[in-house]
Amino acid sequence: MKKSLYEYAIAKSKASRRTFLKGAAGAGAVAAMSGGLSSVATNAFGASDLRSAILKIPGVGVGSPGDADWQKVGEMCLGGTKERVKEGEFNGVEISFLGLDSLNLHNMLHRGFLKPWEKYTGAKIKWIDLAQADYNARLQQSIATGTVDFDIVQSGAPYEGDLCGKGLTSEMPGWVADQIDLADYVGYLQAPTGTWDGKTYRISIDGDCHNFNYRTDYFENEDLAKAWKDEGHSGNWEVPTTWQKVTEVSKFLKGKKHAGFPAYGYLDVQKGWGGFGFYFLGSIATAYAKHPDSPAFLFEPETMKPMVNNPAWVRAIQDVLDRRDCQPPDQINADPGVTGFSQFLAGTGSMVSWWGDVGSNANTSDESLVQGNVGFDILPGSDDVYNWKTGKWETLSSGPNYAPNMAYIGWGLYCMKTVDMDTTKRKAAWSACAHIGGKDLSLWMSMYPSGFQPYRNSHFNIDEWVGAGYTNAFASDYLASEADSYNHPNAAIEPRIPGIFQYYSIAEDELSKIYAGEYDAQTGADNIAAAWDKITDQIGRENQIKLYKASLGL
Amino acid sequence: MTKPTSIERDPLYVVAPPIVTDKTKRFGHIIVWGTFTLMFLLAIIQFLNTNEHITFGFKTWRPVLYAYILWACAIGYSRVLIYGEKGKRTLFVFPAVMFILSIVIFPMLFGLYISFTDWNLSSIDGREFNGLDNFYQMISDPYYWNALKNMIYYVLAVLVEFAIAFLLALLLNSQIRGRKFFRIAFLIPLMLSPVAVSWMVGKSMLEQRFGPVANLGRFLGWETPTFFSSPEIARLTMMCMDAWTFIPLMIIMLLAGLQALPKEVLEAAKVDGANKWTMFKNIIFPIMLPVSLTTLVIRIIFKLKLADIIIIVTAGGPGGATDSVTSFIVREYRDRSNVGYGTLLSFVYLILIIIFMTILIRFVNRWLQRAA
């Protein structure tokens, strides 16, 4: 749960200083625009006594939870542990846990949740807290130098290539899968995510994907609607659902005004962000490059030949180039932090792709100037899709090709191989992870500030959110925007291969040159492909192919 | 024949020395070679074990480190056993020597070795010696040469910074009102962390939409005041931000030089009717030459390390226009885990800096000698 989202709910319960999409009608409109709440079960789950009880700690509207609350929730959710572990069974066992301390969340919560677990089982946890910026280097150095000094690691699925692919992680015992109810995960977090060579290694504690955020007031603007018609554009003035339309709308808005200010269309990321900026090109490219018949969209599985210079990716790059003239000034210096927060939330631009943060902050952050004027959808699609196997563009009989980008795939917990040498320690480590990744406790995390987003089907029960104190409109809209992306049958799931951020990082350097006008899209894409080939050769092509195929479940 | 004591050998002793005998000498040699043998054996065992040639060994290299410390202590003790009072004097220097050996020389040699390896942290095969491949890669790496080219621009900008710093130092040295306030105020940018400067200036004040500098630009008629959009303006903005941070350092050094100027000479020039420009051209600037050149050299050294504001504000963009060698190496090393290549780039840059600074300092010295 994003902290800001929670703070919004608190503020909302205390005083109606903001309205969110002006009630149920707005929510209904948003739901309709986002393809319906197809994945959101409004009444599928009855809130159990335990679930409704923990959701009242401390209760939405009575301030942010603290260590005492985390401990209390942790203690109440010990049922799964007690069924499988005897009291004091892990006396004398010490486990080291490497995680993040971002925003005083993540490991701070884990500490509280695991205190009652430690008391009950007798195990002791040694905490290793890392800042987000230090995380990648610390993890890679530990792996490369063989100095894995942690038993449990909080890690993202993109690192599974580095961790599971190198045999550093412990396979999940069957009893853990039962305790955490693996089948409850949303579609894209099911296998092959979290698995390697058919074995399961991950307990998910988070979900991540890119959504499409747009300004509802732009698309309700009658002057713009009239101008759209007058200029002879096809269709109504409405939220674009394909990238072709996104570009058309962006070009249409050039030079126009909305609410007295210059109007802008889609906000393109044109500056690197430590590798994370590449996800934003991916969010455009997946619609073109991710064919429903194949899970691959970055590399060809049999050869690791980069697809980044195929016509689909080049078209995505060309889209960005085509929209350069209708971007706000200085867009070449806009990284995702700028497009999401400095621009979109601050009122510049009408469309942006981002993780759930923009959606939640749009109506919750004091810095947001677009409260009540933001709608959410899955990422736009494309009228045609490139089939990399045949080398041809295809128009699907089902309509536009949609392929939501599951960027980063979310955080999970992994036990390291080091615990396998001691059966008691192994059980203790997995028990600790299962406690944090438990079904009930994870619901609490998805509703209260934790740094983690909903990731289980059972998290999308709106009644439980309403029961905890959220408004129906807020919960419906927020959850629908995520669920429809998570559960999309053609979701683009990034490959979990070693060094994936190396590929993204060098791509950002080349994209920067393309956007600066030093190369055309094809030349730049060829350069990226050449650099990616070099990385693949350096890391080991044969092994990368093997791991890539494994990560795709092929 | 009785053995001479330390007292007899060294009349300058002040502390009652122990007697150095053949026995103590022998013992000194034994502990040095004994501990060295122990360390060497442990290192060999650990090396073979790590490379899976033998099955026994230690979990980590820590025992080898302990053996190294023991060896270092044994060397220190042996100096006293073998050389008596002279050995004791050696002990004053010995820890520093060992410290430098351990944390400077050894890592540097290790780094040199790494720079000739193919070591990507994600590679399943780990580190592999690849000879000069990294060097050849560097030769054909447009990013590295682009960064080096940018460094030339950045270093040339030091001359402009120097002119501004000299002017401000002259002002602060004159009897202007609020001189003390300005002396402190001018120092503030130097006290700020480059990270803070990057966010406060680069990301806030220069922000195109709401930044006060951008607003001022609009007020003055600049329609779209963007500071990082075109390569030239972005590089210039980066130079300005760096200059804003480091000009105070140059001011301090130059001000110290100005305050040390011989007053009699200046007064004599005044009496002779020299105007301000003549005084500056013929007296102040020539006398300040040593300080000025030292200031320039130090500033250039700082400039060659330029990285933080670039990484934060532009990430080297647009299109590599603001990239510095260090910011590029950081990306190669940190973001791409390319340790072998990144290390080679660092070593080549270090060598280039050493060559450049050596030439610069020699040139400066010759100039100063000629001026004298």
CATH number at residue B241: 1.10.3720.10
Query: What are the tens digits of pLDDT across the range A129-186?
Result: 987 667 777 888 888 777 888 999 999 888 887 888 788 999 999 999 999 999 999 8
Q: How many angstroms separate the CA atoms of B150 and B147, rounded?
A: 5
How many other CB atoms are there within 10 angstroms of residue A515's CB atom?
25
Is the pLDDT score of B239 beyond 80? yes
Which residues of chain B lie closer than 8 angstroms to A509, CB-CB? Answer: 143, 316, 320, 331
Query: What are the tens digits of pLDDT across the range A415-468?
Result: 999 999 999 999 999 999 999 999 999 999 888 777 788 899 999 999 988 888
B16 lies in the same domain as B51: yes
B59 lies in the same domain as B146: no
Bridge partners (DSSP) of residue B104 are none
For the segment B25-29, the average pLDDT, to the nearest whole number, is: 93
Q: Look up the CATH superfamily of A3-208+410-471.
A: Periplasmic binding protein-like II (3.40.190.10)
B90 lies in the same domain as B171: no
Classify A211-403+492-552 by CATH class. Answer: alpha beta
Q: What is residue B372's predicted lDDT score, i.e. its pLDDT?
A: 63
Is B131 a member of any domain?
Answer: no
Query: What are the tens digits of pLDDT across the range B241-277?
Result: 999 999 999 999 999 999 989 888 888 988 888 888 8
Tokens of A326: 């209708």
**Checking DSSP bridges between strand A299-300 and strand A199-200, what pairing results, if any?**
unpaired
Q: How confident is the model at residue B111 (pLDDT cuts 50, 70, 90)?
A: very high
Question: Hey, where are the domains in chain A?
Answer: 3-208+410-471, 211-403+492-552
Judge whether B343 is closer than 8 Å to chain A, CB to CB.
no
Domain end position, chosen among B79, B114, B149: B114
C-beta atoms of A502 and B314 within 8 A: no
Closest residue of A to B128, CA-based?
Answer: A538
- Amino acid identity of residue A157, one-letter, is A
How many other CB atoms are there within 10 angstroms of residue A165's CB atom?
24
C-beta atoms of A539 and B118 within 8 A: no
Is B121 a member of any domain?
Answer: no
Q: What pTM does this model have? A: 0.81
The distance of Cα B313 from the centroid of its chain, to the nearest Å, equals 22
- Three-state DSSP state, A476: helix
Interface test with A, best of B335, B339, B343, B344 (most A CBs within 10 A): B335
Q: Integer distance in angstroms from the first to the last C-alpha of chain B? A: 62
C-beta atoms of A333 and B226 within 8 A: yes
B166 lies in the same domain as B247: yes
More confident residue, B354 or A42: B354
C-beta atoms of B335 and A499 within 8 A: no
Tokens of A542: 């044969």
B58 lies in the same domain as B174: no
Q: Which of A15, A9, A1 is nearest to A473 (CA)?
A: A9
C-beta atoms of A512 and B318 within 8 A: yes
A290 and A403 in contact (C-beta within 8 Å)?
A: yes
Is B128 a member of any domain?
Answer: no
Is B249 a member of any domain?
Answer: yes
A281 and A365 in contact (C-beta within 8 Å)?
A: no
- Report for A48-62, A272-286, A308-322, A455-469: range of highest mean pLDDT: A308-322
Tokens of A290: 């991710």
The alpha carbon of residue B197 is apart from the nearest alpha carbon of chain A, in Å, by 17
For the segment B200-212, the average pLDDT, to the nearest whole number, is: 87
Q: What is residue B178's predicted lDDT score, i.e. its pLDDT?
A: 81
The distance of Cα B329 from the centroid of its chain, to the nearest Å, equals 15
Q: How many angstroms separate the CA atoms of A369 and A342, rounded?
A: 10
Judge whether B317 is closer than 8 Å to chain A, CB to CB.
yes
B220 lies in the same domain as B364: yes
Minimal Cβ distance to A539: which of B123, B315, B317: B123
Q: How many angstroms separate the CA atoms of A469 and B98, rounded?
A: 65
Q: How many angstroms separate the CA atoms of A92 and B78, rounded?
A: 45
Question: For helices A500-515 and A278-289, what crossing angle results, to 10°?
Answer: 90
- Amino acid identity of residue B347, one-letter, is F
Judge whether B18 is closer than 8 Å to chain A, CB to CB.
no
Judge whether B152 is closer than 8 Å to chain A, CB to CB.
no
Contact map slice: B 180-219 vs A, CB within 8 A? 207-210
Q: How many angstroms separate the CA atoms of A139 and A132, rounded?
A: 11
C-beta atoms of B335 and A505 within 8 A: yes
Q: What is residue A39's predicted lDDT score, i.e. its pLDDT?
A: 40
Interface test with B, best of A332, A338, A348, A534 (most B CBs within 10 A): A332
B154 lies in the same domain as B255: yes
Bridge partners (DSSP) of residue A305 are A300
User: Is the omega angle on the peptide bond into residue B225 within 30 degrees of 0, that is, cis?
Assistant: no
Judge whether A329 is closer than 8 Å to chain B, CB to CB.
yes
A vs B: CB pairs below 8 A: 120
C-beta atoms of B334 and A137 within 8 A: yes
H or E segment to which residue A305 belongs: strand A305-306
C-beta atoms of B317 and A141 within 8 A: no
8-state DSSP, A266: B
Judge whether B334 is closer than 8 Å to chain A, CB to CB.
yes
Q: How many angstroms separate the CA atoms of A437 and A442, rounded?
A: 6
Torsional class of B21: left (φ above 0), alpha (ψ -120 to 50), beta (otherwise): beta
Minimal Cβ distance to A540: which of B119, B123, B335: B123
Number of compact structural domains in chain B: 2
Length of chain A: 554
B82 lies in the same domain as B202: no
Query: What are the tens digits of pLDDT across the range B315-358?
Result: 898 989 999 999 999 888 888 889 999 999 999 999 999 999 99
Q: Which of B291, B284, B292, B289 is nearest to B173 (CA)?
A: B284
**HSE toward the beta carbon, residue A441, CA cutoff 13 A:** 31
Q: Integer distance in angstroms from the first to the last C-alpha of chain A? A: 33
Helices (H), chain B: 6-9, 22-50, 62-83, 85-100, 106-114, 133-139, 142-173, 179-191, 194-197, 212-219, 231-259, 263-271, 276-279, 285-304, 308-313, 325-330, 339-371
Is the pLDDT score of A57 beyond 50? yes
Contact map slice: A 374-433 vs B, CB within 8 A? none
H or E segment to which residue A413 belongs: strand A411-415
Phi, psi angles (nearest 5°) of residue A351: -145, 140
Minimal Cβ distance to B124: which of A166, A509, A512: A166
Contact map slice: A 256-295 vs B, CB within 8 A? 271-275
- Amino acid identity of residue A281, one-letter, is L
Tokens of A118: 């430690």
Query: What are the tens digits of pLDDT across the range B171-193?
Result: 998 878 888 888 888 888 888 88
B84 lies in the same domain as B231: no
**Checking DSSP bridges between strand A385-387 and strand A261-262, what pairing results, if any?**
unpaired
Is B126 a member of any domain?
Answer: no
The alpha carbon of residue A178 is apart from the nearest alpha carbon of chain B, in Å, by 33
Q: What is residue B84's predicted lDDT score, i.e. its pLDDT?
A: 85
Lowest mean pLDDT among A5-19, A316-330, B125-139: A5-19
Distances (CA, A) of A421 to A116, A414, A425: 26, 16, 8
DSSP B177-228: TTHHHHHHHHHHHHHS-HHHHIIIIIIIIT-TTT-HHHHHHHHTT-SS--SS
Q: Which of A44, A104, A155 is nearest to A479 (CA)?
A: A44
B245 lies in the same domain as B286: yes
Is B144 a member of any domain?
Answer: yes
Phi, psi angles (nearest 5°) of residue A529: -60, -40
Is the pLDDT score of A312 beyond 50? yes
How many other CB atoms are there within 10 angstroms of residue B259's CB atom?
11
Q: What angle do CA A364, A365, A369 make, to 5 degrees?
A: 100
Judge whether A506 is closer than 8 Å to chain B, CB to CB.
yes
Q: If you search the block for the tokens 């002057």, which residue do you land on?
A: A223
Q: What angle do CA A271, A272, A274 make, to 5 degrees?
A: 160
The distance of Cα A492 from the centroid of its chain, to the nearest Å, equals 12
Bridge partners (DSSP) of residue B265 are none
B149 lies in the same domain as B227: yes
B214 lies in the same domain as B109: no
Closest residue of B to A512, CA-based?
Answer: B319
Q: How confident is the model at residue A379 (pLDDT cuts 50, 70, 90)?
A: very high
User: Is the omega angle on the peptide bond into residue B318 within 30 degrees of 0, that is, cis?
Assistant: yes
Is B201 a member of any domain?
Answer: yes
Is the pLDDT score of B4 beyond 70? no
Evaluate whether A3-208+410-471 and A211-403+492-552 have a shared fold: yes
The alpha carbon of residue B38 is apart from the nearest alpha carbon of chain A, in Å, by 24
Q: How confident is the model at residue B108 (pLDDT cuts 50, 70, 90)?
A: very high
Minimal Cβ distance to A516: which of B208, B209, B319: B319
Domain holding B151, by residue range, is 136-371
Contact map slice: A 12-41 vs B, CB within 8 A? none
Q: What is residue A156's predicted lDDT score, i.e. its pLDDT?
A: 85
